[in-house]
Amino acid sequence: MQHASVSGELPMFRFSPNAYELGLFEVEDGTCQSCGLRRSMRYTSSFYSVEEVSYICPWCVADGTAARVFDGEFTDRASIDGVPHDRTLPITVDEVEAEEVATRTPSFPSWQQGGWRSHCGRPCAFLGDIGSSDLARYLEEPDFLADVNGGLGWDPDLIRTRLRAAGDLAGYLFRCMTCDAHRLHVDAS
């Protein structure tokens, strides 16, 4: 009998360190379609593949099995800052880490296909949702301030007043893996 999922040995995700707290997995008994094992936790966020997949266990997210078996991605590689849509252009972010974000990291729930922030030439870690009232503590960071002040193509006043966690104008907080700087992503319904 498999009891791995109740043994406290859940895999961790360095690019999504709060994945379990954020509800990117939910407790549900089932058979993982990727490894075929009975599991008690299911991935709930986006997975892009030709085949419709409804049950992926945390281990098959973490070790790349699901991405390989279904030839899928959790996050569209080209939505990561520094990965150009045009594949003939040079990639300006760590390619191995971009691959890890795309194929071995839970995506974050968003209205549109998300924009995964990068910093210091590496994809950032996704920390969670953020609303207008929580922006202040990061505004002394120049790159975060630039994200707020139009760097993402959004009206700064809207971001400062209307941003809500998981709202119609949703904010997402990222942190650099190298220098701990924060970055913002904004998405609208």
Quick note: the x/- pattern for Zn ion over 59-78, rule CB under 5 A, is -x------------------
First CA to last CA distance, the chain: 43
Q: Is 127 in the site for Zn ion (CB under 5 A)?
A: no
Distance CA 103, CA 71 (A): 9
Question: In this complex, which beta carbon is closest to Zn ion, that of residue 120 or of residue 188?
Answer: 120
125 exposure class (CB count in 10 Å sphere: 0-12, 13-18, 19+) = buried
Question: In this complex, which beta carbon is closest to Zn ion, that of residue 57 or of residue 125?
Answer: 57
User: Residue 175 CB, nearest distance to Zn ion (Å)?
Assistant: 9
Among 120, 146, 166, 188, which residue sits at the site for Zn ion (rule: CB under 5 A)? 120
Size of the site for Zn ion (CB under 5 A): 11
Q: Is 53 in the site for Zn ion (CB under 5 A)?
A: no
* Contact (CB, 8 A) for 135 and 160: yes
Q: Is 34 in the site for Zn ion (CB under 5 A)?
A: yes
Q: Contact region for Zn ion (CB under 5 A) — 1-9, 44-52, 53-61, 101-109?
A: 53-61
Cβ-proximal residues to 180 (8 Å cutoff; 6+ apart), any chain: none
Among 104, 117, 119, 182, which residue sits at the site for Zn ion (rule: CB under 5 A)? 119
* Contact (CB, 8 A) for 131 and 170: no
Phi-psi region of 173 (alpha: psi -120 to 50; beta: other; left: phi over 0): beta
Greatest C-alpha distance within the chain? 55
Which chain residues interact with Zn ion by CB under 5 A? Answer: 32, 34-35, 57, 60, 119-120, 176, 178-179, 181
